[in-house]
A and B are shown apart, each in its own frame.
Chain A
């Protein structure tokens, strides 16, 4: 399985944008990029996913590098509720087993 690398932790100020990076240099052409987050004392929740093009939804934006070896999750205006562990996960399209392999993720701290 292709691996992802994320910083262990990041800090942000409330109401400012946050850019969470993820490196995935061994990504294959058919790997989807998923982002989940886990709020304190809760189960993980889906944030966004993409394949090649940048994606936007009500929670965040996903910017994917042209070579797909890295991606960035963008929270446009961080709130205190966005403090969580953010996981970047790759999952293959072909022969998909439904598995999501979670790494250590990035712990985001949001300061008021």
Chain B
């Protein structure tokens, strides 16, 4: 398996523009997670899905952020409008089961480095 695939790997945009980040989880994994990493706040969980259904979006910073998972092999994280403070590395991860107490591993993608000017 190719692992978790994210695109684009780098994105530079101007404030106010719409940004769409894409993620393809590992085939057969039922859980998909979106994280954001900044120097100030570290690695934060934004939202996660189970069987394509959003389970917990309490980490989504505000209404400008939205995430969808239309099918088991694809998810998007959209920022509209983007702001300079959204600059960060965004990671997608997937796991076969709930990647926590069950000890199930979360597999992370390489991340998308977003810079909003």
Q: Give A contacts to B, CB under 8 Å.
A: 30-32, 34, 36, 38, 42-46, 49, 51, 87, 91-94, 96-105
Contacts and interface: CB of A to CB of B under 8 A. Distances in A.
Contacts of B45: 99-101
A3 to B, nearest CB: 14
B99 interface: yes
B111 to A, nearest CB: 5
Listed from nearest, the 3 A-B pairs whose CB atoms lie closest are A43-B108, A91-B100, A98-B98
Nearest to B110: A43
B67 to A, nearest CB: 15
B108 A44 contact: yes
Contacts, number: 74
A75 to B, nearest CB: 19
Given A43-B109, A101-B45, 13 more contacts: A34-B103, A36-B106, A44-B106, A45-B108, A49-B103, A91-B100, A91-B101, A93-B101, A93-B102, A98-B48, A98-B95, A98-B97, A99-B56
Contacts of A43: 4, 91, 93, 108-111
The B interface, classified by DSSP as helix, strand, loop or mixed, is strand
A92 to B, nearest CB: 5
Contacts of B97: 98
A71 B110 CA distance: 28
B42 A46 contact: no
Contact of B100 (A44, A100, A104, A105): A100
B93 A96 contact: no
Nearest to B49: A98
Contact of B48 (A30, A44, A96, A99): A99
Contacts of A51: 103
A26 B4 CA distance: 33
Contacts of A42: 110-111
A87 B33 CA distance: 17
A97 B108 contact: no
B12 interface: no
A82 to B, nearest CB: 18
B109 A98 contact: no
